[in-house]
Structure formats: structure tokens, C-alpha cells
A and B are shown apart, each in its own frame.
Chain A
Amino acid sequence: MKAETNLVNSVNLKTNLLYIPLVIVLLLIPLGGEYITYLTGLALLFGIAALSLNVLLGYTGLLSFGHALFFGCGAYTAGMLVKHLSITSIEILVPTSIITSVILALLVGIVCVRHTRIYFTMLTIAISQLFYALAHKLRPITGGDDGIRIYSTHVFGHEVASITEFYYYILVAFFLCLFCLRIILRSPFGLTLQAIRDSELRARFAGISIIKYRLAAFVVSGLFAGIAGSMYALFLGQISPDDVLSVMRSGEFVAMTLLGGYTSFIGPIVGSFVFTYLKAVISSAALYWYLVFGILIVSIVIFVPTGLMGEIEKRRRTG
């Protein structure tokens, strides 16, 4: 896969200003009621996860179909700390999730990044399925297929009272992640990743250690997915292997990224919003969500392979 667009410079100052109204809308979302707040919270968390997936897909050209592993790692780290140690403070849970996700991503990454293309994809499926099967069966530790319930969470000793309050924590986390990823991917590190993606051979001639860079990308990717998973567990108050660790969840992250556009930095977030709202609308209307979802993916792949943002940015450049 070659995306010959530069993911970094495609957004200039003028478009940065365009984001200000969007930020204001996000801040005012709770005015729309609890359900809208809940949905937007989900979209933001999935947005972080899809964005982290795109560190691999968009910047290194590696398709992970097991990204729920790190999302689930974050979620289960938080869940198990609550279940076994009765720790409910977000300021402890989320950093711990970051640590476990980084360790897991490092271990899994060492194995995975030596492979590319379909072998990489297969390996990510296999490893995530292994953990999925374990989470299912190790009932005393993980709660089996019932999963884990989290009844209350605290921030610096204060109990989180409402969805709205938690929504603002998510919003803060979201912008922090966005900001960090932006800096990471704009750095020489991000540019090197793109160089490797576009021509491994040329990058190698330039003296770049390809494996090391891919591993670093893998860890960055796992880290942010872990944050998203951890916050997701606390936001929902309920996790299960099928919800946070399954290959279906991994596939959804891929679909969001594809939908929004893997060639655009902001694409996966757009994808996650469209995905989350569309799913809510169609499911609530008792229509066939999977049919719509499937047709959507097929049409995107055939007609707009660079996704919504890819198409928008292309039109902006040409017209």
C-alpha cells in the first residue's frame, strides 16, 4: 500500500482555524442531553483508538486486525484493578493501563514487526485471539464472558457523579492524545515512518533501522489504544471479552479508519464519529445495521479508497 500523500503537511494554519468551531461544539455537547453526550464520549474514545491504529496503517503501512488487544488491555487493566484491588481512582487506573499497554505492545511488537503485509495482519489476529480466548476462560481473574462491572470511579477522591462530568474528562484526554500524537507524527520520527512506508529499500540505504522504527510505532499505537480502552471501561462501567477484545472490535477500528481516511491525520476521528452516530441511528430504527455497515465498507473500498477526509483533501487541493 502506498499513500504518496504527506500526512503531516496536509493541514495548514487556515484549516487549523476551522477546527475552533468544532471544539466549541464538542464543549457544548452535554446540552444535547445524556444520550448525545454518551454517544459523543464513545465516538471520542473510539476516535483515539482508531487514530492509534492509523499510526500503524497510515504511517507504516501495516494493517493490524488485532488492535482490540491493546484497547482490551487498557480496559482489563482498569477493570481488574477495580475488581481485585478496589482501586477506583482514574488518576491511578489510566496511568497503570498505559504502563501495561506499553509493556504488552513492546512484547507483541517484537514478534510482529518483523513481518509485513498479510503475515503481519494474520499475526495480530492470532495474538489478539489468544488473549480473547484466555479472557473468556480465566473466569476467576477476568470474570469470563460476564466480564467485569465497575460501579463507581473517582477523580482525586471525588466521585464522578454523571455521564456529563465523565464526558469532560474524556474530552481532556482526547485533546491530550490528539496533541501528543500530532507532535509525535510531525517529528522526524513520524517522517521517518512515512519514508519507510513509501520505500523500505530507500530508507534502509539511508541507514534507518526499520525494525526499530516499526517497533516504536507499534508501541505508540498500543499506548494510545490502551488509554482509550481504559477510559472506555470506566465510562461504560462494564467490559467483556466480546466487547473489548474481540476481532469484531478490531475490525470496527479498521472500518472507522478506512471510513474517515487513512491518508489523513484527522480521518480516523471523522470515521469514528460517522460510525458511532450512524450505528446508533440505524440500530435504534431497528434497521439492519450490519447490512448498512457492510455495504458502507464495500462502497468505500471500491469508490473512495482514501476515505471521507482523503476525498475532501483531494478536492480541496485540485479545486
Chain B
Amino acid sequence: MISQIVNGLIFASILFLVATGLTIIFGILRVVNFAHGSFYLMGVFIAYSITRFSSEPALHLAAPFIAGFVAGVVGIAFERGLLKNVYGRGELFELLLTYGMIFVFMDIFRILWGSMPVSDPTITFKLGIISLGGTMIPLYNIYLILIAAVLATFLWFLLSKTKVGMVIRATSFDSEVTSAFGVNVSWVYALTFFLGCFLAGFAGGLMLPVTGAWIGLDVDMLILALVVLVVGGMGSIKGALVASILIGLIRSFGISMFPAIELAIVYLIMIVVLIVKPSGLFGGAEVES
């Protein structure tokens, strides 16, 4: 029971980080970034390469941050270099452009990291396990959930209490008026993409010791992040949090209790939400904290 809750929360934490990136990007740029799962996968692979250097725990703990940073920089390059070209042509083309990038990334990963699954549980062994009500839980798993919670708090603080957050929210609300107030909206877009892709890459880096990565995980992760995005409400971070925990726990308990229809239930929830309340559980159109 406890191990299922912990597993569910790990999954929820990861989903939250990935889906929040997706939701921020949607909130500001009005683009559903289909390549978001690819940034997640990129994070795992980069963390894998970093941890090849040594088995030093500090390096292994730092790896997700570096992976997130690299993913963020690639995200900016993608937004400035490619996506920018199709702004104003309608969401269809923005969607299709990010869809095309899934395949570009897929083969680049294959070229750089091969087709075999990668994983590295060194840090899980180094940190050891603790007993939680009689259930043995790897300490790393607890760390993972905590760091996601810290990041969630930081995001809330960034968006609702700082000047940067105010500019981001203003751009989401009305980019034209914001730009009239002297804000460089292009920079806000780039920053948003960095932030969104950082979160995906960071989440990927965190999962290296837990599940690792394989080609195909990008699309799986994208679909689940889309479920969270829709259920929570597109553009709502609070919604992403609630929906991630919901989906995370359903998957964790579903896998052990009703494995045959566990995924089907997740999609069913998404369908019901879309039919009953297309704007999601916390449906605001703008980025809210």
C-alpha cells in the first residue's frame, strides 16, 4: 500500500514537472508542444552521459539540473530557430511543426545514444533505503518527490510573486498590450520555452535511476502529459498539480489492481473531462499559479 502510494507520487511528480512545462508553454505561446516528451527523453539521455564520468553521488544528484539546462537551451534554439517562423499562421501549423520535431529528435537520440534502453541506478544504491511504516523505500524516491515539491513551490513563487512572473502572466493574458508596455515579448516567449523544456529535461534526469529511458518513451510521456494538460485545464499549473497526482495514483494502483484496463481508465478520464468541461478542472485560459 505504502509502496504503491510512493510509486504513484513519483509518477505524479514526474508528470507534474513535464505537464507544467507543457501548460506554461501553452499558456503563453498558445502552442501545444508535441515535442515535449522528446525534451523529457533528452533529459534522461543527457543525465546518462553525465553520470558516465564518475560514480560520485554529487555528480549524480547534479545531473538532472544540468540535463534540464541543456534541454532548456535546445528548447530556446528550437523556438527561436524554427517555431518563430510559423507564429500567426494558426495553431495547426505550430502543432504540426512540433509534431515533426518528435521524429527529428528520435533519430538524433538514436545516433547519439543508440537504440538500447539506458539506465543507471547508482545513486539509488548509494543513498540506501529507509523503512516507512514497515515498507522499505529507496531514499532516492523520497528525494525525487521532495525536489519536485520544492520546484513546484519555486514555480508558484516565480510566477505569482516576482516581476518576471508578472510579465509572463501579463503576456499570457494579452501579448499585444504587454508589448505596448515596452516588454520584449519575444524574450518572454524564449524564456517560457526555456522554462518549459528545463522542467521536462529535469524530470527526465530525475528518472534515470528509476526507469531509465528508451526510444518510444518520448511519445508515451507526451500522451500522458497531454492527459494531465487536458484534465487539469490547459494553462493552469494548479490544475496540472491536481491532475498529475490523480493520474499518478490511478496508474500506480491500477497497475497492481486492474492491469488490463489501467491505461484505458486514464484515457476515459481525459475523454469525460473534455466532454463535460473542455477547459479542464481548473480551466483558466491564462497561466495561473
- B141 CB to closest chain A CB (Å) equals 27
Q: Is A111 an interface residue (CB 8 A)?
A: yes
B213-244 residues with Cβ-Cβ distance < 8 A to A are 219, 223, 226-227, 230, 234
- Highest count of chain B CB atoms <10 Å: which of A119, A130, A255: A130
Contact check: which of A123, A258, A302, A305 meets B82 at CB < 8 Å?
A: A302
Contact (Cβ within 8 A) B96 A291: no
- B274 CB to closest chain A CB (Å) equals 5
Contact (Cβ within 8 A) B91 A294: no
Chain A residues lying within 8 Å of B106, measured Cβ to Cβ, are 290-291, 294
With A130-B264, A291-B107, A301-B100 as known contacts, state yes or no: A63 contacts B92, CB within 8 Å.
Answer: yes
Task: Write the chain B residue with the least CB distance to A299.
Answer: B100
User: Could you list 6 further interchain pairs (A-B, Cβ under 8 angstroms) beyond the known A297-B99, A298-B104?
Assistant: A119-B274, A119-B278, A254-B99, A296-B100, A297-B97, A302-B85
- Report how far A1 CA is from B234 CA in the complex, Å: 20
Contact (Cβ within 8 A) A298 B97: yes
Task: Write the chain B residue with the least CB distance to A248.
Answer: B219
- Report how far A130 CA is from B272 CA in the complex, Å: 12
- Report how far A63 CA is from B274 CA in the complex, Å: 16
Contact (Cβ within 8 A) A294 B104: yes
Contact check: which of B100, B103, B226, B278 meets A125 at CB < 8 Å?
A: B226
Q: Is B161 an interface residue (CB 8 A)?
A: no
- A269 CB to closest chain B CB (Å) equals 19
Chain A residues lying within 8 Å of B226, measured Cβ to Cβ, are 122, 125
With A63-B92, A130-B267, A305-B93 as known contacts, state yes or no: A122 contacts B103, CB within 8 Å.
Answer: no
Per-residue CB contact flags for chain B residues 196-208 toward chain A (1 = under 8 Å, else 0) read: 0000000000000
Contact (Cβ within 8 A) B95 A63: yes
Contact (Cβ within 8 A) A127 B271: yes
Q: How many residues of B contact A (CB 8 A)?
A: 42
Q: Is B270 an interface residue (CB 8 A)?
A: yes
- B119 CB to closest chain A CB (Å) equals 23
Contact (Cβ within 8 A) A288 B82: no
- A297 CB to closest chain B CB (Å) equals 3
Contact (Cβ within 8 A) A295 B104: yes
With A118-B32, A302-B86 as known contacts, state yes or no: A254 contacts B96, CB within 8 Å.
Answer: yes
Q: Is A121 an interface residue (CB 8 A)?
A: yes
Q: Is A247 an interface residue (CB 8 A)?
A: yes
Interface of A is mostly: helix
Interface of B is mostly: helix
Q: Is A251 an interface residue (CB 8 A)?
A: yes
* Chain B residues in the interface with A (C-beta under 8 A): 32, 82, 85-86, 89-93, 95-97, 99-108, 110-111, 219, 223, 226-227, 230, 234, 259-261, 263-264, 267-268, 270-271, 274-275, 278
Contact (Cβ within 8 A) A137 B261: yes
What are 18 sample pairs from A and B whose C-beta atoms fall under 8 A apart?
A: A111-B271, A115-B278, A118-B32, A118-B95, A119-B274, A122-B32, A122-B270, A129-B223, A133-B267, A136-B263, A255-B100, A258-B96, A294-B100, A294-B102, A294-B105, A298-B97, A298-B100, A301-B86
Task: Write the chain A residue with the least CB distance to B227.
Answer: A126
Contact (Cβ within 8 A) A291 B275: no
- Report how far A263 CA is from B50 CA in the complex, Å: 47
- Report how far A122 CA is from B93 CA in the complex, Å: 15
- A142 CB to closest chain B CB (Å) equals 12
Q: Is A174 an interface residue (CB 8 A)?
A: no
Task: Write the chain A residue with the least CB distance to B103.
Answer: A294
- Report how far A122 CA is from B92 CA in the complex, Å: 12
Chain A residues lying within 8 Å of B110, measured Cβ to Cβ, are 288, 290
- Report how far A247 CA is from B103 CA in the complex, Å: 13
Chain B residues lying within 8 Å of A136, measured Cβ to Cβ, are 263
Q: Is A11 an interface residue (CB 8 A)?
A: no
- Report how far A118 CA is from B278 CA in the complex, Å: 10
- B221 CB to closest chain A CB (Å) equals 13
Contact check: which of A119, A126, A138, A301 meets B96 at CB < 8 Å?
A: A301
Contact (Cβ within 8 A) A294 B274: no
Chain B residues lying within 8 Å of A1, measured Cβ to Cβ, are 90, 92
Task: Write the chain B residue with the least CB distance to A63.
Answer: B92
Q: Is A134 an interface residue (CB 8 A)?
A: yes
A243-277 residues with Cβ-Cβ distance < 8 A to B are 247-248, 251, 254-255, 258
Contact (Cβ within 8 A) A297 B274: no
Chain B residues lying within 8 Å of A134, measured Cβ to Cβ, are 261, 264
Contact (Cβ within 8 A) A118 B91: yes
Contact (Cβ within 8 A) A133 B103: no
- Report how far A242 CA is from B223 CA in the complex, Å: 15
Chain A residues lying within 8 Å of B105, measured Cβ to Cβ, are 294
Contact check: which of B32, B108, B234 meets A291 at CB < 8 Å?
A: B108
Contact (Cβ within 8 A) A305 B274: no
A60-103 residues with Cβ-Cβ distance < 8 A to B are 63
Contact (Cβ within 8 A) B260 A137: yes
Contact (Cβ within 8 A) A123 B100: no
Task: Write the chain A residue with the least CB distance to B215.
Answer: A290
Contact check: which of B96, B230, B234, B263 meets A133 at CB < 8 Å?
A: B263
- A74 CB to closest chain B CB (Å) equals 21
Per-residue CB contact flags for chain A residues 119-151 toward chain B (1 = under 8 Å, else 0) read: 101110111011001101110000000000000
Contact (Cβ within 8 A) B101 A288: no
Chain A residues lying within 8 Å of B263, measured Cβ to Cβ, are 129, 133, 136-137
- Report how far A251 CA is from B268 CA in the complex, Å: 21
Q: Is A293 an interface residue (CB 8 A)?
A: yes
- Report how far A117 CA is from B32 CA in the complex, Å: 12
- B261 CB to closest chain A CB (Å) equals 6
